[in-house]
Amino acid sequence: MILAKYSLRERYACHPNPSKRVNPDRPFTLVLSGGGLKGLAHIGVLRALEERGLVPSLVVGSSIGSLIGAAWAAMGTTQEMEARALRVRRRDVFQVARVDVAFRRLLAPALYRPEPLDTLVSSLVGDITFRDLTRRLLVNTTDLHSGKQVMWGLPGLLDARVADAVTASCALPGIFPPREIGGRAYVDGAVVENLPVRLAACLAPGPIVAVNVAATSVRRQAHETEGFAATYIRGLEIVMQTQIEGQLRDWSGPPLVLVQPRVEHISMFEFDKTPELIEAGYRATAQTLDQLDGRLHMIGRGMHPTRRLRVLVDAQRCVGCGTCVVQEPKVFRLDARGKAEVVTPVQTWSPLQGAFVLNCPTDAISVRPEETAA
C-alpha cells in the first residue's frame, strides 16, 4: 500500500466530513496512552468526562488506549464498556504460541498467538472502517520496517478496518506478532510515541486532555520481576515513562491537561484489578477537573494542573552524587560538605516536573505542599 502524501497541516487537518465532528462548540482532544491492562483506567476517564458533559471531538490512542478509544467510538456508552471489561479474562488475550515457540524458537514471531486478541478486538469494534465511525478516532501504530509512525484515521488512511489498526497498535513487539495492513507490517505505536500529544497539538488549537497510565514511580519487588515476561514488561514501563517525560518536559504547545491515574502499583497484565483500574481513572480525572474548577476551555498554554510545592533534602541520606544538580541546576547545588542543597525550595510544578525526586539513588529528596511545609 502506498500512503497518501500530505503536508503536515494537510495530513493533520480536520475530518473531511464536518458533520461527523462531535461537540463543535467546545472541542478538545483526548489522548489515551498505552500501558497494558492498566489502560482499563481509560474507561473511568471517559465516564468522568461524560458525567460533566465533556465529549472529546477527537480521541487519539496508543496500544490499549486505541482499544478503549475504538470501543468508545463504536459502542457509545461507558456502561457497556465497563460491563464488557469486567468479563475479560487472561485466556481472552493471552494464549502461548506453543508450536511456534517450540519449533521455531528465536524465529517465532511472538510469544503469544494473535487469534484471541483478534477475536476480542473484533467483538468490540466490529467490521467497520474509520470512514464509518460517527466519532473521530486516530490509532497510533509503527511501520515495523520503516520505523515510521502511522496514524490510522487521518485523511488518506480512512479506509482501513478499525479492528486491524487497533490490533496493530496493541501488538507489542515480541508479545504479539505484527499486524499486516495493506501488505505492510505494523506494531504498537508506543514504540515511537506512547502518549501522542504532538499529533494532537497539530490538529487543533483547543485544549488536550492526555491520560498517562505508564507511570513507574512504585518500585517493584524482586518476585515481580522474575522471568522473561516480567522483566520485559518492567523494562517497557520504564521506557514508556522516560519517553513521555522527555517529550513533555518543556511543553509549550496548546493547553495540555495531564491526567495520571494512580495505577503504577499494578502490573501491566493483571486481570483481577479491573474495578480498581476503572475507579482510579475516574477518580484521577474528576480530581484533575475539579482542580481546574471545570474551566477546561479557559486555561492557558502549557501543562496543567500545577501545584505549589516545597523541595526538601535529607542531609543524612544524601551521599553527594550530584545527580540532582545535573538534572535541575536551578533548584540544587552542592554545599561545602558536598551535600545537595536546595537553592529555590518553593516550586510551581506541572504533573511531570520533579522527576529528580524519583531519580535520587538514596531517596534523599522529598516534596511537600507549600502550605503544610515546615
What integer is the mean pLDDT of 115-128? 91
Is 140 in a helix, a strand, or coil? strand
Distance of CA 83 to the CA centre of its chain: 22
Q: What is the pLDDT of residues 135-150, one digit of tens each?
A: 999 999 999 999 999 9
Taking a C-beta distance cutoff of 8 angstroms, is the pair 48, 55 a contact? no
Sequence-ordered list of residues with C-beta below 8 angstroms from that of 374, at least 6 positions apart, any chain: none
Q: What is the pLDDT of residues 158-199, one digit of tens each?
A: 999 999 999 999 998 888 889 999 999 999 998 889 999 988
Q: What is the pLDDT of residues 280-339, one digit of tens each?
A: 999 999 999 988 876 777 788 888 888 888 999 999 999 999 989 998 898 999 999 999
Q: Give the residue among 324, 314, 326 at the shortest CA–CA distance from 364.
A: 314
Q: Which residue has the cell 481513572?
A: 281
Q: Give the residue among 361, 360, 265 at the shortest CA–CA distance from 311.
A: 360
Position 23 confidence tier, pLDDT thresholds 50, 70, 90: very low
Task: Give the N- to C-terminal CA distance of the chain in Å, as an integer.
Answer: 63
Q: What is the pLDDT of residues 67-110, one digit of tens each?
A: 999 999 987 789 999 999 999 888 888 777 776 666 666 666 66
Q: How far is CA 26 from CA 45, 55, 205, 265, in A?
A: 18, 8, 12, 35
Q: Which residue has the cell 477546561?
A: 296
pLDDT at 19: 33
Residue count of the chain, please give it.
Answer: 374
Sequence-ordered list of residues with C-beta below 8 angstroms from that of 29, at least 6 positions apart, any chain: 56, 57, 58, 59, 60, 200, 203, 204, 206, 207, 208, 209
107, with CB counted inside 10 A (0-12, 13-18, 19+), is: exposed
